[in-house]
Amino acid sequence: MELLAPAKINLSLDIIGRRPDGYHTLDMVMQSVSLFDMVSLTRSESGGLQIICNENDVPCGEENTVFRAAKAFFQATGVPQKDGLLFSIEKKIPRQAGLGGGSADAAAALKLLNRLYRTNLTAEQLRKIAISAGADVPFCIEGGTAHVTGIGENIEQLPPMVDCHIVICRPDVGISTKAAYSAYDKKGNSEERHTPSVLEALKTNDLERLGKALGNAFEEAGVPPEITDIKRQMLRYGCEGTCMSGSGSAVFGLFCEYEKAETCCKSLRKKYSLVYSCHPVPQQEIIS
C-alpha cells in the first residue's frame, strides 16, 4: 500500500502566545501543494517496525515522525503489533524547509495503518492521534486549505484557495524549527497579525489581494540573506506575493501566469538547486 504525502505552505503564520509547557500557540492558514513524498507500507518478516528512506540523512529510528505516528496509532487503538512492518519513504519534499515533509509522511503512515488494520478511524480520530507525532501532522491528515490554531490541533477547513501557480525555492541553508522559535523568543512577541487579512482575502478569490496579505512571524525575527534574495527575485518576475513557509527556509511565490512562474523557476535554478513549480491541492484531491 502507498500514499502520496503532499507538502504544505503557510499562507500566514502568527505566534500569539506560549503555554506553560513551553509550546507556542499559533494562528495560521495552511495550504497543501503538489509537491509530494511517497510513503508505502508492507508487512515484513523481520519483525518490529522498520523505516527506510531514499535519502541517507533522514533519521529512520524513533526520532522519525513516521515511527512516532505508528507507535501512537497502536497505543490509541489497542491493536497489537504482531506483524513486522516496513515503511518506505521516497522523499521529494526538502528537509528544514517549513514545508511539513515529515508531518506529511506521518499523516500518510497513520492513514495506511488505518487501512491495513481496518480500524475505520475517522479523520477526527486520526487527527487526535496525529498531534502526538508533530504539530503539523493533524492538518496533513486531510490537507487542503485550513485555518489552524492552538499548537496545531484545532483545524477549520476553508473553501479551496484560488488556483494559481506556486514557485517554491529552498536555499542551501536550512532552518531548524527549534532554532527558529529560539530566535523569535529572543526578539519578543510581535503584535502584527497576518492571518485575519489572509482569511478575508481567501473569501474574495483574488490572488493579488491574497499575495499582499501573506505574512510569517518568523521572518520578523530575522532570516538568512538568501531568503531576502529569493523573495526579491520572485517579485521581479511578477509574483503576486511571496513569503517564507513555516519556520523556513523555503520561500514561495504565488503567480497568476504559468509563463511568469516558469521564467522565475529557470532564473532561480541558476543559483539554487531546490526549486519547484506546483499548484494548490484542494482537500478532495488528497488521497485518503
Q: Where in the chain is the domain with CATH 3.30.70.890?
A: 165-284
Q: Which three cell numbers stand for residue 226?
A: 538568501
By annotation, the residues acting in catalysis are 8, 136
Q: 3.20.20.480, 3.90.1570.10, 3.30.70.890, 3.30.70.20: which CATH number matches 165-284?
A: 3.30.70.890
pLDDT of residue 209: 97
Inter-axis angle of helices 65-77 and 101-116, nearest 10? 40
Q: Where in the chain is the domain with CATH 3.30.230.10?
A: 2-159
- Residues 242-266 have a mean pLDDT of 96
Least confident of 9-23, 175-189, 253-267: 175-189
Question: Using one digit for the tens of pLDDT, what is the confidence trace for 97-109?
Answer: 999 999 999 999 9
Torsion sign across C-alpha atoms 101, 2, 166, 266: positive
Q: Which three cell numbers stand for residue 9?
A: 505552505
Q: Is the pLDDT at 187 greater than 90, yes or no?
A: no
Q: How far apart are CA 63 and CA 60, in angstroms?
A: 7
Q: Which comes out higher in pLDDT, residue 108 or 20?
A: 108
What percent of the chain clears pLDDT 90, i.e. is strictly above it? 78
Q: Is the pLDDT at 190 greater than 80, yes or no?
A: no
Beta sheet of 274-278, edge-to-edge order? 241-244, 251-255, 165-170, 274-278
pLDDT of residue 191: 72
Q: Is the pLDDT at 288 greater than 60, yes or no?
A: no
Q: 3.30.230.10, 3.90.1150.10, 2.60.40.10, 1.10.10.10: which CATH number matches 2-159?
A: 3.30.230.10
Q: How far apart are CA 135 and CA 152, in angstroms?
A: 5
